[in-house]
Amino acid sequence: MDRSLLRQNQSVGLKVGLLFACLALTFLVFRNAFTNVAPLLNYATLKQNGFYLWAVLALCVMWVYVKRTDIVDAARTGTDSRWVLVGVVLAGASLGLLYYAATFVESLPLTLFAIAFVVVAEFALFFGKASKVPFMLLGVFGVAVGFPALLENAVAAPFPAATAILCVRTLQLAGVPVTLSGVTVTLNSLMGSNIVVNIDTRCAGSDSLAIFLAIFGLMLIDRKPRNKALLGLFILGVVGTYLQNFVRLLSLFTAGYYYGANALWAVHDYASYILFPIWFLIFAVIYLKYAQKPGNSAIGRMTSTESMPEL
């Protein structure tokens, strides 16, 4: 083995050891974050927060593995004072967010993001430009965490209301006895009971849109479409993702009308795990027709042309 490469490997190994030591110390100091989030790791809470969050996190971890060669090659080139400064600033910001998540809130999505932020920021402190790919993936995960919360804001109140109106009008045109008051839907079931449900932002499709935006970001990192097609593909993806959730709403109310409340909630809980993969498979086929080859990926261009530290 070349001596310079051996020295580089030894340097990387030393930095990895220091990184794990810093992470261990950080999580020991902020162990309350793990203590507070432990009770939230049950089926009911996970179901309430959405399993999509874990799916996006798993995809980001998988992308790190796929891009490991790029990351390791960049890590061997060392770092400079600019990246050290960037790492210090981001590490401080991540520790502040972790402290906030551990002390003031009990939010599983925010705590997971804060932990991921700490890991990536401290990685940047030791490995500089090699953290570009992890930071891109952290941004993707941040979209999955923040987008549903954004739509739950009062500013986005028309989103569930408009969805509820469209859904009820469509059902009424099909002859289903259903009424709407605000976002509260009352369905007269053939089973002899009235089913009352609220269409909130998550039921209206915020989770589906969040996971689409996250996976779309991952696809852009790996295979970017031609600029002329990018906007069209994005609009197609957003509209299609909304419509597949709209079909889910129609399906669950139809099931409730014919078979009662248990059928409605069964479709509510599981239909998205069937409809979304089918839709996204169709979208992925269309996307790949316009995507550039892997050899010209966004990551490849970023890691091969280093200038200033851009995050």
Q: How is the chain split into domains, by residue range?
A: 3-151, 155-296
| pLDDT tens string 130-172 | 888 899 999 989 988 888 777 776 556 688 889 999 999 999 9
Q: Which of 18-22, 60-64, 218-222 has the lowest mean pLDDT?
A: 218-222
Mean pLDDT lowest among 28-37, 263-272, 302-311: 302-311
Give me the pLDDT at residue 302, please: 44
- Asked whether residue 305 carries a pLDDT value surpassing 60, the answer given is no
Dist CA 119 CA 23 (whole Å) = 7
To the nearest whole percent, how much of the chain has pLDDT over 70? 83
Q: Which two tokens stand for residue 201?
A: 């932002």
Structure tokens at 215: 């996976």
What long-range pairs does 167-172 form, CB within 8 A, spacing at least 24? 167/199, 167/246, 167/249, 167/250, 167/253, 170/250, 171/250, 171/253, 171/254
Mean pLDDT of 85-101: 90
Contact 132, 74 (CB under 8 A): yes
Average pLDDT over residues 207-215: 89
Who's near 160: CB < 8 A, 6+ residues apart?
Answer: 183, 199, 200, 201, 203, 204
pLDDT level of residue 251 (50, 70, 90 thresholds): very high
